[in-house]
Chains A and B, each alone.
Chain A
Amino acid sequence: EDQVTQSPEALRLQEGESSSLNCSYTVSGLRGLFWYRQDPGKGPEFLFTLYSAGEEKEKERLKATLTKKESFLHITAPKPEDSATYLCAVDGSARQLTFGSGTQLTVLP
């Protein structure tokens, strides 16, 4: 059974204070690892797809990395508008996305 665990559950940062979110996963065959951003009351918004260990992707202040057991979402110099819940999901042996519970990020001005 595919499993995804995200930590921390909640994170409060000052504007400009860089940090990382963690996503640990267990799958028998990884077909893709996905990061989404979700604002309250809205559907998840796609950020990144990673397929193999060592892969990295960047978009503005966000950078996602992947190892064989976990993925990190690095946030550099965050702004208040980066406040959201960040969801990690895997496409593995279950042949559909298995999500973690998310990290609720709050960036204070």
Chain B
Amino acid sequence: DTGVSQDPRHKITKRGQNVTFRCDPISEHNRLYWYRQTLGQGPEFLTYFQNEAQLEKSRLLSDRFSAERPKGSFSTLEIQRTEQGDSAMYLCASSLRGAGETQYFGPGTRLLVL
């Protein structure tokens, strides 16, 4: 059983550095989502892809954030010029189709910006 995987699991970086996270969805899932979660809060939507097309982005996603899913399989989320406020858990989820379909989450990448 290959669920959603994320790499790295933990990342510590200095303010101003760039970081990139990777997500591998469940195979055959055509939708891939990125969320951000801070302590004591539920996950907040950032963006999602259907196959390789990025269909929606939250207003939370500043210009410093960019996401790609080049071949409709794995996805990357890059944060440029990190700020301390970017410290959070970054979660990836995938689903088989779309509306109303269950999203399955990966273990997350914990980012700490010093």
Q: Is the CB of B91 within 8 A of A44?
A: yes
Interface string of B7-46 (1 = CB under 8 A from A): 0000000000000000000000000010100001111110
The 10 A-B pairs with the shortest beta carbon distances in the complex, nearest first, are A99-B42, A43-B105, A31-B100, A32-B100, A96-B45, A31-B99, A44-B105, A43-B108, A43-B107, A99-B43
Interface string of A82-100 (1 = CB under 8 A from B): 0000010101001111111
Q: Is the CB of A36 within 8 A of B45?
A: no
Chain B positions near chain A (C-beta within 8 angstroms): 4, 6, 33, 35, 40-45, 48, 56, 91, 93, 99-108, 110
Q: Once the chains are docked, how many angstroms separate the CA of A100 from the CA of B42?
A: 6
State how many residues of chain A have any CB contact under 8 Å with chain B. Answer: 25
**Supplied contacts A32-B102, A43-B91, 19 more A-B pairs, CB within 8 Å:** A41-B110, A43-B105, A43-B106, A44-B43, A46-B102, A46-B103, A49-B100, A49-B102, A87-B43, A91-B99, A95-B56, A96-B33, A96-B48, A97-B45, A99-B42, A101-B40, A101-B41, A102-B41, A102-B42
